[in-house]
Amino acid sequence: MLKTVGLNLGILIWICSIFIGMKILYDYSKTPGPEGHSSSEWPYSSRLAKPSARPVLIMTVHPKCPCSQASIEELAKILTKVGNRIQAHVLMLPLGTSPDALADAKNNYVWIRGSETPNLQMHIDYEAREAKGFGALVSGQVLLFSSKGKLIFQGGITQSRGHQGDSAGHAAIVQYIEQRKIQITKSPVFGCHLFEQATIEHHTNGGSHAEHPGIQ
């Protein structure tokens, strides 16, 4: 009798432990990064070609972020759907200015995948100047500007950390390109922080990046 009770209790504890573990995992996966304060207009200081004839999409990527692999795949799917109706740029933020850091910035899955994707330009964003100009804080963050340079959408295009698949951001971007209307203008971004915690906190509290020169 005692043995049965003990076994049943053990099983219950076991199941609860698994449940708690999976919940921690799921909670982490659906916890987005901090929301930044992006400008509603195309930043004048950006060295990227300003939108004119077609909308422009910007994605910022941390070179080591594992979650951004899903983001680049989703971006590739978007571009497959919309073709050249949009101009897309990926800003890769190197982890320093050393040759190794710069080499690392191009030696990762996101860069290689992005380089193979039509209608997508890959850029090294030295000292994160462009990212700071756009107000991006999280790897995988996407900003969509209209042909007139207005911010239409900002957020993520994955449903959770590192997970490919349908997402609200993906659907919103495609909807805008195809129908020129959009239901949502924001979505959570799931990725690593582009900057140290202090910088993140400064921006989430309404601070802004300093003016900066362009990119290479």
**Sole window of 13-21, 39-47, 114-122, 144-152 interacting with another protein (rule: CB under 8 A):** 13-21
Q: Which of 53, 18, 70 is nearest to 192 (CA)?
A: 70
Q: What are the distances in angstroms from CA 161 to CA 22, 37, 128, 175?
A: 15, 21, 22, 23
> Does 30 interact with another protein (rule: CB under 8 A)?
yes
Contacts of another protein in 152-191 (CB under 8 A): 159-160, 162-168, 170-172, 175, 183-184
Buried b or exposed e, range 3-38, using 16+ CB within 10 angstroms: eeeeeeeeeeeeeeeeeeeeeeeeeeeeebbebbeb
Whole-angstrom distance, CA of residue 73 vs CA of residue 49: 24
**Sole window of 27-35, 38-46, 81-89, 147-155 interacting with another protein (rule: CB under 8 A):** 27-35
Residue 206 is classified by DSSP as T
> Does 90 interact with another protein (rule: CB under 8 A)?
no
> Does 197 interact with another protein (rule: CB under 8 A)?
yes
- CB-wise, 124 or 168, nearer to another protein? 168
Query: Which residue in the set 119, 200, 202, 204 belongs to the binding site for another protein (CB under 8 A)?
Result: 200
Going along 66-150, which residue ranges are E strands?
87-92, 120-124, 141-145
User: Residue 2's CB: how many other CB atoms inside 10 A?
Assistant: 6
The answer to whether the beta carbons of residues 158 and 149 sit under 8 Å apart is: no
Query: Which residue in the set 194, 203, 209, 215 belongs to the binding site for another protein (CB under 8 A)?
Result: 194
- Ramachandran sector of residue 91 (left: φ over 0; alpha: ψ -120 to 50; beta: rest): beta
**Sole window of 36-44, 59-67, 117-125, 149-157 interacting with another protein (rule: CB under 8 A):** 59-67
Query: Which residue in the set 46, 69, 87, 141 belongs to the binding site for another protein (CB under 8 A)?
Result: 69
Q: From the CB of 21, what's the least distance to another protein, in Å?
A: 4
**Sole window of 40-48, 61-69, 80-88, 117-125 interacting with another protein (rule: CB under 8 A):** 61-69
Q: Which residues contact 211 (CB under 8 A, 6 or more apart)?
A: 45
> Does 7 interact with another protein (rule: CB under 8 A)?
yes
Helices (H) and strands (E) in the chain, counts: 7, 6
Can you give the binding site for another protein, defined by CB under 8 A?
7, 10-11, 14-15, 17-18, 21-22, 24-26, 28-30, 62, 64-67, 69-70, 95-96, 139, 159-160, 162-168, 170-172, 175, 183-184, 192-197, 199-200
